[in-house]
Amino acid sequence: MSHSSRQESPGPLEVLGLSAQELGTILRDILESAGEPAYRARQLRDWLYKRCPEDFLLWSDVPGTLRQVLGERLLLHPLEKKEEQLSSDGTRKFLWTRQGGGNLESVVIPDRDRRTYCISTQAGCPVGCAFCATGRGGFKGHLRPAEIVDQVSSMRRITGEGPTNIVYMGMGEPLLNYASVCKSVEILTHPEQFGFGARRITVSTVGIPDKMRSLAEAFPQVKLAVSLHAARNDLRSKIIPINRKYPLEEVLAAARDHASKTGKKITFEYILLPGVNDARRDAMDLAKLARELPSRINLIGFNPFPGAPFEKPGVRRLLCFRGWVQEAYSGDVTIRRSRGSDIQGACGQLSLNRQELPPMKRPRVGRE
């Protein structure tokens, strides 16, 4: 796969955003100009992808003159850590600031022998879902490939533990920043770079049909999750406004094509919003929809934040809704365990707390 190495900001190249081929070309030029032997390229890649400290000057076994040249030609970390919070359940939340302005968030979620890195693809989000803290804060721009990859690199350095899974479920709609997402996946999975298994990566989307199909072609091993949240167009359009542009029929057709191309089940994510999408009828509609293609369902209780127009559903309500779905759907129906609630664990909440915004409006539904 070929992607351009262009970046929005002038100055040194963002080295974490370079493909393996691009990096090889740059390193050959740097080593030749510094009078260093070609074998050092492997040494530099080892530092970059396995250890990656905060500064080139810390690359201890690299000659000082070469470290200086690297610092002049390349930018190591485009993100700066602004804040870090640790939850009582071990979840770690990071707030980063971009050089050109705007904040983004990432989360490390431990679960027994798993460590899931939840990463962002945009600063803010333009989609404007009714329940989303990220969208409420506005859209500040697409992340460049290096900014996406740097979340993984920096969290690994800070925590001292790499991920077992990576989910593109943080701030933003990944498939609206398709080129940067694809290049970041390429960098994370390339054997000469981070070498992370594509099977352990999940990309979440509200449903951008053409990009869902393109992702299946580009990365058939990467899993797809569709943020559904309603199984009828009338209700979903109130919760997820972009459904008016890409209605359920088009999203489901693209999901079916993705499953057919990759041989992988689609995960339907469904946030329960009490009094909005949690009635028996909603469960039956969800079950009927999910039966139409290879799938699993992941139910998520809404996680309240200041100004949100919804309440957190009780455990009994989640279990009741799951029971209704299972009456008419034989696939897996899981309930996502809430993590990091004491540190505003859902993406967008930490950044949102730094802003003063009016309360969000609750969408009107027919049964209210």
pLDDT in tens, 288-337: 999 999 999 999 999 888 778 889 999 999 999 999 999 999 999 999 87
pTM listed for this prediction: 0.90
Q: How many CA atoms lie within 13 A of 245 on its CB side?
A: 9
As given in the structure block, the two tokens for residue 276 are 């909005």
Is residue 286 predicted with pLDDT exceeding 80?
A: yes
Reported as a single tens digit per residue, the pLDDT across 133-191 is 877 778 999 999 999 999 999 999 999 999 999 999 999 999 999 999 999 999 999 99
Catalytic annotation on 52? no
pLDDT tier at 345 (50, 70, 90 boundaries)?
A: very low
Reported as a single tens digit per residue, the pLDDT across 208-230 is 999 999 999 999 999 999 999 99
Out of 105, 147, 186, 269, pick the active-site residue.
Answer: 105
As given in the structure block, the two tokens for residue 218 are 């580009």
Count of all residues that appear for the chain in the document? 368
Which among 244, 273, 287 has a CA at the least distance from the CA of 367? 273
Return d(Cα 232, Cα 319) in angstroms, integer.
22
Contacts of 89 (CB under 8 A, 6+ apart): 339, 340
Contacts of 337 (CB under 8 A, 6+ apart): none
Contacts of 54 (CB under 8 A, 6+ apart): 76, 77, 157
Return d(Cα 136, Cα 130) in angstroms, integer.
8
Contacts of 29 (CB under 8 A, 6+ apart): none
Q: CB atoms < 10 A from the CB of 77, how many?
A: 21
Catalytic annotation on 105? yes
Structural domains in the chain, sorted by start:
13-75 (1.10.150.530), 79-352 (3.20.20.70)
Q: What per-residue confidence (pLDDT) applies to 5?
A: 45
Burial of residue 73, with CB atoms counted within 10 A of its CB: 0-12 exposed, 13-18 middle, 19 or more buried: middle
Return d(Cα 160, Cα 91) in angstroms, integer.
14
